[in-house]
Chain A
Amino acid sequence: MGLEAYIKDNGFLTTQVNAIIAWARKSSVWPMPMGISCCAIEMMAVGDPKYDIARFGSEVMRFTPRQCDLMIVAGTVTYKMAPVVRKIFDQMPEPKWVIAMGACTSSGGMYRSYSVVQGIDQFLPVDIYLAGCPPRPDNLLHALMKIQEKIGKTKASQFHDVPLKEEGIKLPELNVIQKN
C-alpha cells in the first residue's frame, strides 16, 4: 500500500520537529467560513464532492472560531460588519491565517461606496488575496494550496513563544525523550 509497506516490523523514520509539526499543520488546516455574501456560495461548492476540499484535509469547516486556524473571508465587508469580522478573527487561536476571497474583500471590488471597506487589509493581516468575482472553487483550492505552502515553511517555535513570554506565562517543561 503506502509507506507502511516499506517500514515493516520495528521500522522508524527520522525527521525534524519543525518539519513534522509544519507538515501536520498544513495537512489539516481547519477553515473558519466567514461567508458574508455571494463568494460564500463558491466556498460551499468547494466542500461538495466535485471539488472536494477534503482532498486537502480542510473539510472540517468549523463554525466556531476557537477551533479554526484559517479564516476565509468570503464576501463584501461593510464598515458595520468590520468589527464583527475582527472580533471573530481575534477569537481564533494562534497560529492563524487569512484568505481574502474575491474582489470585494481584497479591494472593495465593484462597491466604490461609503458603506464598504475598501480592502480588509485595513484591519486584518491578509496572507492570500484571491482574485475573481466570485473566484471559481478551484481558484479557492489554489489559494488553500498556497497557504499550505506558506505553513510548510514555518517553524514550530515561531508562534507560541513570543506572546507567552511577554505575558510572563511559564510553559511546562516537556519530557521529550530521555537521552539514550
Chain B
Amino acid sequence: MDLKTLIPQKLKEKFPAVEFEITDYKDELTFKFDKKFVVEICSFLKSDTGLEFRSCTDITAIDWATRKNRFTMVYNIFSMKHNFRLRLKADVDEADCKIDSVSSVWRAANWQERETYDMYGIKFNNHPDLRRMYMPEEFEYHPLRKDFPLMGIPGSIPLPKK
C-alpha cells in the first residue's frame, strides 16, 4: 500500500483520541496535532515496523507574531527504509511556552531542541541538557522571535574593553 494512505490510516487506528489535521502540499505530507501527544506519536512513528522513521532530520519552530497560538513546532523526519519524508507540526502558545522533548525518541533531537530553545524561547520538558546553543549563556533574549530587532539590543552582549 502507498505510504501516503498507510500512515494516516495507521495513526488514526493507533490514536483514535487525537485530532489530525492532514495536508498534502507539493507531494509533502504534514500532520498537525495537539502538542501533548508529541512524544507518543513520534515514538510510534519510529518504532512501528511498517514505518520506521528513524532519522530526525530537523526540528525548528515558526513565530507567527500576532496569531493566537504564537508558535508552531515543526519536526521533519525521514524513513530510510521507505525513503519517505514526513512533517509534524504542533502549536505552542506563548502563555504556556512549553512542549515535551522528543530527545528520548531521537537522540539527534537533543541539540536541535536546544537550538529552538535558544532562538525562540520554547522550553522543552524532560530535556536532558537545555542550555543555549549559539548565544552566550547570560543572554536574555531569543533572536529569531519576530519582536527581536535585527541589530539586536545594544549592550546586551558585553565586548572586551579596548
Residue in A87, A114, A124 whose beta carbon sits within 8 Å of that of B151 in the complex: A114
A122 within 8 A of partner (CB): yes
Q: Are A123 and B136 in contact (CB under 8 A)?
A: no
Least Cβ–Cβ distance between A77 and chain B, in angstroms: 10
Query: What A residues does B150 contact at CB under 8 A?
Result: 112-114
CA of A123 to CA of B159, assembled, Å: 7
Chain B residue with Cβ nearest A124? B162
Chain B residue with Cβ nearest A83? B160
CA of A137 to CA of B152, assembled, Å: 34
Least Cβ–Cβ distance between B29 and chain A, in angstroms: 35
Residue in B152, B153, B159, B160 whose beta carbon sits within 8 Å of that of A115 in the complex: B152
Q: Are A82 and B159 in contact (CB under 8 A)?
A: yes
Q: Are A114 and B149 in contact (CB under 8 A)?
A: yes
Residue in A87, A112, A114, A117 whose beta carbon sits within 8 Å of that of B159 in the complex: A117
Chain A residue with Cβ nearest B136? A80
The B interface is mostly helix, strand or loop, or mixed, namely: loop
Residue in A87, A115, A117, A125 whose beta carbon sits within 8 Å of that of B162 in the complex: A125
B residues 124-162 in Cβ contact with A at 8 Å = 134-136, 143, 148-153, 157, 159-162
Q: Are A114 and B162 in contact (CB under 8 A)?
A: no
Query: What B residues does A113 contact at CB under 8 A?
Result: 150-152
A79 within 8 A of partner (CB): yes
Q: Are B143 and A122 in contact (CB under 8 A)?
A: no
A142 within 8 A of partner (CB): no
Query: What A residues does B134 contact at CB under 8 A?
Result: 80, 115
- Most A CB contacts (10 A, CB to CB) among B136, B150, B153, B157 go to B157
Chain A residue with Cβ nearest B153? A114
Least Cβ–Cβ distance between B6 and chain A, in angstroms: 44
Q: Are A122 and B151 in contact (CB under 8 A)?
A: no
CA of A122 to CA of B150, assembled, Å: 19
Q: Are B160 and A123 in contact (CB under 8 A)?
A: yes
Query: What A residues does B161 contact at CB under 8 A?
Result: 123
- Interface residues as binary, A107-126 with B (CB distance below 8 Å gives 1, 0 otherwise): 00000111101000011110
A residues 41-63 in Cβ contact with B at 8 Å = none
A86 within 8 A of partner (CB): yes
Interface residues of chain A, those whose CB is within 8 Å of chain B, are: 79-80, 82-83, 86-87, 112-115, 117, 122-125
| In the A-B complex, the 9 residue pairs with the closest CB atoms | A114-B152, A86-B160, A79-B157, A123-B160, A123-B159, A83-B160, A82-B159, A123-B162, A114-B143
7 extra A-B contacts, CB within 8 A, seeds A114-B152, A115-B143, A117-B159: A79-B136, A79-B157, A80-B136, A82-B160, A113-B150, A124-B162, A125-B162
